[in-house]
Amino acid sequence: MTVDDVMKRVEDIRQVAEAEDDETAHGMEDELYIDVLGAIVNGADDPEKLAAEALKTLEIEFSRWCG
């Protein structure tokens, strides 16, 4: 996983959120976090940058529900 991969997925989440599909955006956000953590555990280059880019989803406004 690269920083560019994460940036692309964050943009995908932004687009889904703008389309007012909060449930899908939230699921995509969860999957991104899991994938980034997995990449870091497996020795990804630039783990700090990967995490920082992934956390940019927190700047995207959409409803997040916990079950």
| Any domain includes 16 | yes
Query: What's the domain count of the chain?
Result: 1
d(CA 64, CA 10): 15
Q: Could you report the per-residue pLDDT of 52-64, keeping only the tens digit for each?
A: 999 999 999 999 9
Q: Do 22 and 63 meet the contact criterion of CB atoms below 8 Å apart?
A: yes
Instruction: Judge whether residue 17 has pLDDT over 70.
Output: yes
Model pLDDT, residue 67: 60
Task: Tell whether 37 is covered by a domain.
Answer: yes
H or E element that contains 36: helix 22-41
Residue 67 lies in a domain: no
Residue 66 lies in a domain: no
User: Which residues span the domain enclosing 51?
Assistant: 3-59
Q: What is the pLDDT of residue 35?
A: 98
Residue 65 lies in a domain: no
Q: What percent of the chain has pLDDT over 70?
A: 99
Residue 65: its pLDDT value, please? 82
